[in-house]
Amino acid sequence: MNQGKNHPQGFTHMNREYTVAIAGATGAVGEELIQLLDERNFPVKELRLLASARSAGKTLTFRGKDITIQELTHESFSGVDIALFSAGGSIALEYAPSAAAAGAVVIDNSSAFRIDPDVPLVVPEINPDAAKAPKKGIIANPNCTTIVSLMALAPLHREFGLKSIIASSYQAVSGSGVEGIIELDEQVSAITKGEPIVSKVYPRQIAFNVIPQVDVFDEGDYTKEELKMLNESRKILGIPELEVTCTCVRVPVHRSHSVSISAAFEKPITPDTARAAIAGNPGIQVVDDPQKALFPVPLDTTGQDDCLVGRIRQDKVLPNALALWVVGDQVRKGAALNAVQIAELIASNKD
């Protein structure tokens, strides 16, 4: 079976170059954005790196050149064609409209605009046409767990008609930022040394444990992360009646999210017809030979572009349903790569 690999597509030809700004350039996703713009040969004329005042004056490297980080202000976007936001919802709400007003197309990684009916929510492999001519000049990047799940489910929906999703996620600590990784590593070290355990990022110990809470609790005691799977899946797939229930769990893994899914469909479906429907779709690979211990695990996708799906089997409870297991790098495809792919769509539309 093929494992997930990077497939930098790049631009083999271009009619123009673009001034690109990254708001939140010093974070994990921001740094990944810089790397991917280079890897995928995005036609950058000027790269403008923006962050908080405390990071202003520092430098980051892009294509062999040091670029000085500037403080993010409402005046930062003059002359910018594409603004990539990875600075959190409150920052996006404050500054994204200024970027759009200055003429930039904004691609926002936060949840700030995802459910706004005038803001498209885009996964390029699934609904690329939604990225054309956004009304507010803003395009939203979906939640990482939603993206990973739909990379496997969208090809099945196109052929069999998706009706419902029952999912449990297994989400890496890097989803909480570098602080999540540090807390896990410090707790593991403390346990091996017999020292007290300190929990600051998570409400409970994460080392050698799992925590059934990602984000804060909301309506019906579902967390916001769980409700994102419901609302965002409906919007991306264009199925307002889609039924979704989800439990999101933080696990002691550094990077890459995994999702266990039972999905029911309008038409009869089997594991073989599902594998055939998924095969050949960009960004998703089938790794599914359990007798040989071939199934996706987080380490297979870490640092990789493609999501992987396996453990595809008939659901024993629901009719016309399958159980499956999907894994993807939430920093890469779940955030930075998806945003750069949207930027590529914008560049292709403008060219």
Domains and their CATH numbers in the chain: 18-141+335-350 (3.40.50.720), 146-330 (3.30.360.10)
pLDDT at 13: 46
3-state secondary structure 159-180: HHCEEEEEEEEEECHHHHCHHH
pLDDT at position 349 is 82
pLDDT of residue 351: 63
Percent residues over pLDDT 90 in the chain: 93
Average pLDDT over residues 137-150: 98
Beta strands of the chain (E only): which ranges? 18-23, 44-51, 59-62, 65-68, 70-71, 82-85, 105-108, 138-140, 162-171, 243-250, 257-265, 284-286, 307-314, 321-328
SS3 70: strand
For the chain, percent of residues with pLDDT exceeding 70: 96
pLDDT at 5: 44
CA distance 331 to 185: 19
- pLDDT tens column, 96-110: 999 999 999 999 999
Residue with tokens 């659901």: 315
pLDDT digits (tens, 9 = 90+) for 1-25: 334 444 445 544 457 999 999 999 9
**3-state class (DSSP) for residue 155:** helix
Q: What does the angle CA 175 – CA 179 – CA 181 come to, to the nearest 5 degrees?
A: 65
pLDDT in tens, 175-195: 999 999 999 999 999 999 999
- Tell me which amino acid residue 78 is: S
Q: What number is the average pLDDT over the span 199-209?
A: 97
For 288-347, what is each residue's pLDDT tens digit? 999 999 999 999 999 999 999 999 999 999 999 999 999 999 999 999 999 999 999 999
Task: Note the pLDDT of residue 133.
Answer: 86
Residues 6+ apart with CB under 8 A from 107: 82, 83, 84, 85, 139, 141, 339, 342, 343, 346
- What's the CA gap between 70 and 55, in Å, rounded? 8
Angle (deg, nearest 10), helices 271-278 and 144-160: 110
- Summarised one tens digit per residue, pLDDT across range 69-103 is 999 999 999 999 999 999 989 999 999 999 999 99
- Hey, which residues are catalytic here? 144, 257
Residues 210 and 171: their CA atoms lie apart, in Å, by 10
Q: What pLDDT does 19 receive?
A: 98
User: Residue 103 has what pLDDT?
Assistant: 97
- pLDDT at residue number 14: 54
Give the number of C-alpha atoms closer than 13 A to the C-alpha of residue 322, restricted to the C-beta side. Answer: 26
